[in-house]
């Protein structure tokens, strides 16, 4: 077990960083110092005490990312209750189910989402609070919470007659092995399970981040990924709050235009992102330049190519604020062409690997040690990895992990918990890959999506899609098996099509040309028999992974 107590990390951080800025709502230009966050937490703790919230009670949280979202999360875990963050992309039915399944007693919610929920479907909730101003939106019959809120200022004054100071911060005495978080997954298989994460799981991620020297006290980060997702929550929120860093919360849809403006203004010292963001920047900003005839000629001239790549790297770094040490990519596999290009121009990025069940981190490399195709070395001293194959260095097998970050299990789901652990206690990730002698992980695909060819060869559709997505006028794709043949479903890049004046009727011919080019890049057993146009974007999880199960029988 890690030495540092998860809750005490934040008790100490609030005291040490009292005067520093902690959280900023970027779209409202509203900043909270660590002192102001601590005072808001104290107010919520008073509400919890007056309402006799007990250790282990669940408090649900759903809404647009904002400083108040972070304050509710921190107030809940430092009180000793269990936070249940819910992705705002979930349907109302899913939200009702998670609130009921988790047995939450309080709900903090944005007004817009509250309007979509039905009170009679969450009858066990004692009270519902607005995320915008913490007022009580609804209370169960017999509760007097709305009345309590009217007297909260007086209760604060009575409790802290000299005013709330850093010496008044005393958070729950809770061992690291206790559950502090129920995180409901949004997997590509269609089932949502409540991952039980302990203080030790989250503390393992936070204390490991301290050893990386990528973010320091007083520095800045921009949070533009959903905080209810384990990856963003850990590294855009829990880590900066532990270190005394300043987290700016975007609070808007992270389009490239909005993001680049925010990068320019905030100049973050560390950037946490998903592949989609870098892939969009590559496809929209870099690829059109590289495809120009003069550029292609220039890149064939020795020394000149190095200078051009250096200029592209500087332009990209400047566009992202110019101050960051590295860009950490996670949450999904990144397109190999994009990875190889960024590595070639020496852009300071790295790709990590994790899952909600590990809160989330499993492996990571500093950008100076990163090797394309890998997703870092398993966390030294914190996690262990093994490959379920006879030759883990060369033969693909399921990646299995063990260590400080591994969850306690799935809430009220013993069967799913038993199924995800081996008999000797290793967590089955469901990912397939290999490792090298330095315990560096190389992922090939998901065990659930792997296709076994008629000749007995393993086919990883994600690898084919990665190549297909780089061909002309392909926005995104899904490769499925039908009657023993591989078929590529393609949603075209209509914006690019319209920009060139090509008729939509010509797309069928273009896709057949794409299929020919694609098959040149594939092994004979991987060849795609047809590319079929798909009419809409593919449905995705909140972390932007395609829900593959919806298209398996297309």
Does 352 score more than 80 pLDDT?
A: yes
What per-residue confidence (pLDDT) applies to 106?
98
DSSP state letter for 64: S
pLDDT tens-digit readout, 429-438: 989 999 999 9
**Distances 185 to 168, 217, 541 between C-alpha atoms, Å:** 36, 31, 10
**pLDDT surpasses 90 at 305:** no
Q: 533, 529, 502: which is closest to 518 by C-alpha? A: 529
Listed residue (471, 517, 516, 463) closest to 490, CA to CA: 471
At 20-32, the pLDDT tens digits run: 999 999 999 999 9
Section 391-416 average pLDDT: 94
In degrees and rounded to multiples of 5, residue 188 shows phi and psi of: -80, 0
Is 160's pLDDT higher than 70?
yes
Q: Is the pLDDT of residue 190 over 60?
A: no
**How far apart are the C-alpha atoms of 503 and 501, rounded to whole Å?**
6
Count the Cβ atoms, other than its own, within 10 Å of residue 50.
15
* Count of positions (residues) in the chain: 554
Within a 10 A sphere around the Cβ of 91, how many other Cβ atoms?
A: 9
Three-state SS string over 242-308 comes to HHCCEEEECCCCCCHHHHHHHHHHHCCCEEEECHHHHHHHHHHHHHHHHCCHHHHHHCCCCCHHHHH
Per-residue pLDDT averaged across 203-231, rounded? 95
What burial letters (b/e) apply to 424-433, b meaning 16+ CB within 10 Å?
A: eebbbbbbbb
Percentage of residues of the chain with pLDDT beyond 70: 97
| Banded model confidence at residue 314, pLDDT cuts 50, 70, 90 | very high
Domains of the chain: 6-249 (3.40.50.980), 451-550 (3.30.300.30)
pLDDT in the model for residue 279:
86
The secondary structure of residue 275, as a DSSP letter, is H
Contacts 24+ apart (CB under 8 A), 283-288: 284/256, 285/316, 285/319, 286/312, 286/316, 286/341
pLDDT at 514 > cutoff 60: yes
CB of 200 closer than 8 Å to CB of 2: yes
The number of CA neighbours under 13 Å toward the Cβ of 290 is 15
Q: What is the pLDDT of residue 189?
A: 45
User: How much is the pTM?
Assistant: 0.86
- Please compute the mean of the pLDDT values over residues 498-506 and round it to a whole number: 88
Q: What pLDDT score does 483 carry?
A: 82
Helix boundaries (H) for 3-151: 6-16, 34-50, 67-79, 92-102, 111-116, 145-150
Q: Which residues pair with 476 in a beta bridge?
A: 491
Tell me which of 465 and 291 has the higher pLDDT: 465
CA-wise closest residue to 407 among 362, 445, 446, 353:
362
Quick one: pLDDT at residue 243? 97
| Under 8 Å between Cβ of 131 and 70 | no
Identify the pLDDT of residue 195: 97
Query: Is 189 or 503 the better-scoring residue by pLDDT?
Result: 503
Bridge partners of 130, per DSSP, are 109
pLDDT value for 290: 81
Average pLDDT over residues 89-111: 93
Query: 486 in helix, strand or coil?
Result: strand
pLDDT score at 456 = 63
Instruction: List beta partners, residue 207.
Output: none
Peptide bond into 360 cis (omega under 30): yes
230-257 confidence digits (pLDDT tens): 999 999 999 999 999 999 999 998 888 8
What's the whole-number mean pLDDT along residues 338-363? Answer: 95
Pairing state of beta strands 377-378 and 361-364?
Answer: antiparallel
Instruction: Using the predicted structure, report yes or no on whether residue 440 has a pLDDT greater than 50.
Output: yes
Q: What per-residue confidence (pLDDT) applies to 291?
A: 78
The rounded mean pLDDT for the chain is 92
pLDDT tens profile 521-549:
888 888 999 999 999 999 887 667 788 87
Q: How confident is the model at residue 455 (pLDDT cuts 50, 70, 90)?
A: low
188 has a pLDDT exceeding 60: no
| pLDDT score at 109 | 98
Quote the DSSP letter at residue 234. Answer: I
- What pLDDT band is residue 295 in, cutting at 50, 70 and 90? confident
For 160, other C-beta atoms within 10 Å of its C-beta total 14
Taking a C-beta distance cutoff of 8 angstroms, is the pair 69, 88 a contact? no
- Tokens at residue 358, please? 């590990």
Judge whether residue 442 has pLDDT over 50: yes
């Amino acid at each position: 077990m890690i030495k540092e107590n998860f809750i005490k990390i934040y008790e100490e951080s609030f005291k040490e960083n009292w005067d520093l800025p902690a959280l900023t709502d970027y779209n409202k230009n509203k900043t909270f110092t660590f002192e102001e966050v601590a005072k808001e937490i104290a107010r919520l703790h008073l509400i919890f005490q007056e309402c006799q919230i007990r250790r282990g009670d669940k408090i649900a949280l759903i809404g647009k990312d904002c400083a108040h979202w972070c304050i509710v999360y921190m107030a809940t875990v430092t009180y000793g209750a269990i936070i249940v963050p819910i992705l705002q992309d979930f349907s109302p039915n899913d939200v009702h189910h998670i609130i009921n399944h988790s047995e939450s007693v309080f709900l903090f919610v944005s007004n817009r989402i509250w309007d979509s929920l039905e009170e009679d479907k969450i009858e066990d909730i004692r009270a519902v609070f607005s995320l915008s101003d913490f007022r009580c939106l609804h209370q169960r019959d017999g509760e007097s919470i709305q009345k309590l809120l009217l007297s909260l200022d007086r209760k604060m004054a009575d409790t802290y007659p000299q005013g709330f100071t850093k010496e008044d911060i005393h958070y729950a005495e809770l061992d690291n092995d206790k559950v502090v978080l129920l995180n409901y997954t949004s997997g590509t298989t269609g089932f949502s399970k409540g991952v039980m994460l302990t203080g030790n799981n989250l503390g393992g991620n936070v204390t490991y981040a301290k050893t990386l020297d990528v973010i320091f006290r007083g520095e800045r980060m921009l949070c533009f990924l959903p905080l209810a997702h384990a990856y963003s929550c850990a590294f855009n929120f829990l880590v900066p709050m532990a270190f005394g860093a300043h987290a700016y919360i975007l609070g808007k849809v992270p389009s490239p235009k909005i993001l680049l403006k925010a990068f320019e203004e905030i100049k973050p010292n560390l950037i946490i992102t998903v592949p989609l963001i870098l892939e969009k920047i590559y496809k929209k900003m870099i690829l059109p330049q590289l495809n120009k005839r003069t550029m292609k000629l220039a890149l064939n001239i020795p020394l000149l190519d190095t200078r051009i790549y250096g200029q592209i790297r500087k332009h990209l770094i400047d566009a992202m604020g110019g101050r960051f040490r590295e860009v950490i990519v996670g949450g999904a596999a990144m397109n190999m062409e994009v990875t190889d290009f960024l590595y070639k121009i020496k852009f300071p990025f790295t790709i990590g690997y994790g899952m909600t069940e590990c809160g989330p981190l499993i492996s990571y490399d500093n950008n100076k040690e990163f090797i394309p195709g890998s997703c870092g070395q398993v966390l030294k001293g914190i996690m262990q990895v093994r490959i379920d194959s006879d030759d883990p260095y060369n033969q693909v097998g399921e990646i299995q992990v063990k260590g400080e970050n591994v969850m306690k299990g799935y809430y009220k789901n013993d069967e799913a918990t038993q199924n995800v652990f081996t008999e000797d206690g290793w967590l089955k990730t469901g990912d397939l890959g290999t490792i090298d002698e330095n315990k560096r992980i190389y992922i090939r695909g998901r065990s659930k999506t792997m296709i076994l060819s008629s000749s007995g060869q393993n086919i990883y559709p994600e690898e084919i899609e990665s190549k297909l997505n780089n061909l002309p006028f392909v926005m995104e794709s899904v490769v499925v098996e039908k009657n023993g043949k591989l078929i590529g479903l393609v949603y075209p890049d209509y914006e690019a099509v319209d920009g060139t004046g090509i008729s939509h009727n010509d797309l069928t011919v273009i896709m057949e040309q794409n299929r020919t080019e694609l098959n040149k890049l594939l092994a004979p057993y991987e060849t795609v028999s047809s590319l079929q146009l798909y009419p809409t974007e593919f449905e995705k999880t909140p972390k932007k992974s395609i829900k593959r199960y919806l298209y398996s029988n297309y």
